[in-house]
Amino acid sequence: MSTARQTAFTALSYAELSQRLGSATRAKAALKWLYKDGLPASLPERVPGVAHREWARLRVNHPLPAWKQLAKLESEDGTTKIALELDGAKVETVLIPGPQRSTVCLSSQAGCTRSCAFCATAKLGFLRNLTAGEIIAQYVLAQRLAPAGRPARNVVFMGMGEPMDNLENVLSAVELLTQAPYPALSPAHVTVSTAGVVPQMRRFLKASKASLALSLNATTDETREKIMPHNALWPIAKLMETLRTHATDRETFIEYVLFAGLNDTPEDAARLPRLLEGVPARVNVIPFNGNEGSGFVAPNNDQVVSFQRAVARGGIRTLVRWPRGREIAAACGQLANKV
Ligand code: SAH
């Protein structure tokens, strides 16, 4: 009964749907249905605007990915986390309401192929890559939770997993998210976040117009290697060279998880803008979200603000990403299938 062989319905592009349904109008109706009314457990017998015969055939050949919602947790600030089981793989997806638009935070792997010392997902180990159809299924489910008037028009690949280690599926999902007529997100509003896997970063930057976020998290190789072991393979200079060579056509987000007493010195704040010279970038300072037994120390708000100001004085746009949904373990680095 493996659905892996068949392309899932959620992974079909507009062009593929048009071809299989015999008309672009039907394909548009099918996509409209998916993003408006999806996701049932399996495809219905009829979809408005799609001829019955073609739909019946498509339905058999391209089922929905197997999915089950295990839990839904809503935090006081409106951030909502859904725990899903996708064909046996447990993942979490987060909807973060914003003032005008909401953001969906997607998982790209069940568990993670990287072992960042501070991240709760890393503790799970790696189960498997998610398919493009499973990534889209998360978006379909999460976007329906957006509050009225604040549609989910931003997507970040900052949930579980290292997107660059599942690049084919992530690139397909980005294509699907940005395709007209639905859901037609702007590539600038789809951000793929990486722990810094250089060869795949290059491929991503060549293949996609979507935004890139790099989780830098340190300004020296010595510190970075302690918390992100793969830095031994792709050190900071290599990361910067990659951005300088391949990412000058867009603004890259530099994620900097701030730990008290580890990467928060005035020297770090001074080095960061210098490292980023020649890279169109903005920095997001993310206060460390504690997870059990990590041994890292969260900075207090004053430390966060003074670090942010010091980096900004170096001439680079720098914002603090204050945590959302911490009490439901939905904030950065807290996704660990605990529900
Ligand atoms: N593997 C990708 C995407 C998932 S992590 C990456 O590394 O970018 C998304 C963001 O959460 C990254 O910037 C990561 O550095 C940050 N993060 C991980 N654990 C965290 C924690 N405990 N507190 C705050 N941010 C964390």
Of 92, 134, 162, 255, catalytic: 92
332 carries an active-site annotation:
yes
Across the chain, mean pLDDT equals 95
Q: What is the mean pLDDT of residues 220-242?
A: 98
Distance 3 CA to ligand 1 centre (A): 31
Residue nearest to atom 18 of ligand 1 (CA): 333
Q: Are strands 102-105 and 152-157 parallel, antiparallel or unpaired?
A: parallel
Identify which of 118, 201, 231, 282 to mutate to test ligand 1's pocket (most ligand atoms within 8 A of the CB). Answer: 118
Residue nearest to atom 25 of ligand 1 (CA): 332
Question: What's the 3-state SS for 236-302?
Answer: HHHHHHHHHHHCCCCCEEEEEEECCCCCCCHHHHHHHHHHCCCCCEEEEEEECCCCCCCCCCCCCHH
Determine the pLDDT at residue 2: 44
Inter-CA distances, 277 with 212, 267, 274, 302, Å: 17, 16, 5, 27
Number of the ligand 1 atom closest to the C-alpha atom of 296: 22
Residue nearest to atom 7 of ligand 1 (CA): 195
Number of the ligand 1 atom closest to the C-alpha atom of 193: 8
pLDDT over 70 (residue 65): yes
Using pLDDT thresholds of 50, 70 and 90, give the confidence band for residue 108.
very high
pTM of the model: 0.96
Identify which of 115, 158, 264 to mutate to test ligand 1's pocket (most ligand atoms within 8 A of the CB). Answer: 158
Q: Which residue has the tokens 């019955």?
A: 52
Q: What is the mean pLDDT of residues 187-203?
A: 98
Using pLDDT thresholds of 50, 70 and 90, give the confidence band for residue 5.
low
Q: Are strands 102-105 and 89-96 parallel, antiparallel or unpaired?
A: antiparallel
Secondary structure letter of residue 144 according to DSSP: T
Of 105, 112, 116, 332, catalytic: 332
Determine the pLDDT at residue 335: 83
Identify which of 257, 285, 304 to mutate to test ligand 1's pocket (most ligand atoms within 8 A of the CB). Answer: 257
pLDDT digits (tens, 9 = 90+) for 287-303: 999 877 788 999 999 99
92 carries an active-site annotation:
yes
Pocket lining for ligand 1, CB < 6 angstroms: 118-119, 158, 162, 193-195, 215, 217, 255, 257, 286, 288-289, 291, 332-333
Determine the pLDDT at residue 3: 43
Proportion of the chain above pLDDT 90, given as a percent? 91
Number of the ligand 1 atom closest to the C-alpha atom of 161: 1
Determine the pLDDT at residue 328: 81
Angle between helices 14-21 and 52-61 (to 10 degrees): 120
Q: What is the spatial distance between Cα 110 and Cα 87, in angstroms, rounded to a whole number?
A: 11
Q: What is the mean pLDDT of residues 83-105?
A: 97
Distance 145 CA to ligand 1 centre (A): 23
